[in-house]
């Protein structure tokens, strides 16, 4: 049984959001606001969001980004379904959508139409591109990683590679949530809502901006991160004697002194020509074989214990599955237990990586079954039991998991 946190006076308590989303970008924006206390009603098709049924690398999308939400299964192509949705939106503070360009307008849920009856509505549209020549293109996380330079920087020369997570979808959702919070604050002053947008391509450009700036400063062509000239001489993954790997970084001249002392690299600590970082980078091919032999003579636990004592930056090379048992995440409330689709099966998944006045944001609502809150939502809108039964019979709404 998943344990739910008690209802608290969270930052966004009292804010109602209607969410028309699928996959990752839209749901990630919604879960950020839901975790912070907003009431999020997720509108799903009659058979439930197709994201629920994804396999392979998409199997984790729904459970990761849809906690703390309610589910209403609704046929948006029917007049009655559109009427229900419109009633919800007219009472909402925020709408989030991430469907293809023009889809919401065709349903009658474009921002110009909705603001006529709800001028306080903050309408967040999450797309592949902001306004411009590309705005009507269909985009995916991987598409914009490729065209935005991120895949180039991640892979090997001539072999672009997407990052190992849906980083652009998630970043686009985060920027959408930031835009919503900015619009919410502006509404406090003006009383008016507004249309806000976030996009995959521009999010990618923002993330590679450091490399654009690097080229502007250096005047040199960019190399992928996999073969780059590091800013620091020691900033590498090292093999240990027990067949494991540990990353170690030495990113200041002070840390270099500590590093040399900890690992008895006396010849390096006495060499004045290695005292400055840029000099060490220039002599990297000379010093790295010695350092690799030194660290490689130790087991992973021995190396990590010594690095822990020195305070130097280090990290074991972990896979996502290792995080289930991570002592820090488990001790600090960084993992939230949610129920999965399989009966009785749960998983501990990462919560928001923020702390508010000593509070970690927890689980107020478990993952919703498709249509779990349809009846409740309709009742709150004033529908009678007879009307609800009639809507269900007509295929306009669905209840429970389907």
Catalytic positions, written as ranges: 169
Q: What residues contact residue 323 under an 8 Å CB cut-off, 6+ apart?
A: 329, 335, 350
Tell me which DSSP letter residue 159 carries: B
Contact 118, 193 (CB under 8 A): yes
Helix, strand or coil, per DSSP, at residue 107? coil
Half-sphere exposure of 337 (CA within 13 A, CB side): 10
Tokens 């490689």 -> residue:
296
29-68: b (≥16 Cβ within 10 Å) or e: bbbbbbbbbbbbbbbbbbebbebbeeeeeeebbbbbbbbb
Contact 176, 202 (CB under 8 A): no
Contact 36, 11 (CB under 8 A): yes
Helix, strand or coil, per DSSP, at residue 232? coil
- The Cα–Cα gap between 39 and 30 comes to 10
The region that residue 23 occupies, defined by phi over 0 for left and psi between -120 and 50 for alpha, beta otherwise, is left
Q: What residues contact residue 104 under an 8 Å CB cut-off, 6+ apart?
A: 20, 97, 110, 125
Contact 363, 68 (CB under 8 A): yes
The DSSP element (H or E) to which 44 belongs, if any, is: strand 39-44
Phi–psi pair at 288, nearest 5 degrees: -65, -40
Closest CA to 15 of 196, 193, 195, 190: 193
- The Cα–Cα gap between 261 and 253 comes to 13
Tokens 């009639």 -> residue:
390
N-terminal to C-terminal alpha carbon distance within the chain: 22
Helices (H), 67-131: 79-90, 103-106, 111-117
């Amino acid at each position: 049984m998943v344990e739910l946190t008690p209802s608290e006076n969270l930052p966004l308590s009292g804010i109602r959001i209607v969410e028309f989303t699928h996959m990752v970008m839209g749901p990630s924006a919604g879960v950020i606001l839901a975790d912070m206390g907003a009431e999020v009603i997720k509108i799903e098709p009659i058979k439930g969001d197709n994201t629920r049924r994804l396999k392979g690398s998409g199997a984790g999308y729904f459970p990761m980004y849809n906690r703390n939400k309610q589910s209403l299964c609704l046929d948006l192509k029917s007049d009655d379904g559109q009427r229900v949705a419109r009633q919800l939106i007219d009472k909402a503070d925020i709408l989030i959508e991430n469907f293809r360009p023009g889809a919401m307008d065709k349903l009658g849920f474009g921002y110009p139409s909705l603001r006529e009856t709800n001028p306080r509505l903050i309408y967040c549209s999450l797309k592949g591109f902001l306004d411009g020549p590309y705005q009507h293109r269909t985009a995916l996380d991987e598409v914009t990683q490729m065209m935005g330079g991120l895949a180039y920087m991640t892979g090997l020369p001539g072999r672009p590679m997407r990052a190992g997570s849906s980083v652009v979808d998630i970043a686009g959702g985060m920027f959408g949530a930031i835009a919503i919070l900015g619009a919410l604050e502006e509404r406090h002053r003006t009383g008016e809502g507004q249309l806000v947008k976030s996009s995959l391509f521009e999010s990618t450009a923002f993330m590679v901006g450091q490399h654009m700036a690097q080229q502007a400063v250096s005047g040199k062509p960019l190399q992928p991160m996999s073969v780059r000239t590091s800013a620091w001489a020691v900033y590498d993954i090292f093999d240990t004697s027990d067949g494991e790997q540990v990353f170690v970084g030495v990113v200041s001249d002070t840390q270099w002194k500590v590093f040399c002392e900890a690992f008895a690299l006396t010849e390096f600590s006495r060499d004045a020509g290695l005292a400055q970082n840029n000099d060490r980078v220039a002599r990297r091919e000379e010093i790295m074989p010695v350092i690799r032999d030194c660290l490689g003579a130790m087991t992973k636990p021995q190396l990590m214990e010594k690095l822990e004592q020195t305070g130097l930056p280090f990290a074991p090379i972990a896979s996502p599955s290792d995080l289930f048992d991570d002592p820090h995440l488990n001790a600090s409330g960084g993992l939230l237990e949610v129920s999965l689709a399989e009966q009785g099966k749960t998983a501990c998944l990462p919560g928001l990586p923020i702390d508010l006045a000593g509070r970690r944001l927890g689980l107020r609502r478990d993952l919703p079954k498709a249509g779990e809150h349809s009846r409740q939502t309709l009742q709150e809108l004033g529908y009678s039991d007879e009307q609800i039964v009639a809507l269900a019979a007509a295929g306009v709404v669905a209840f429970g998991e389907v």
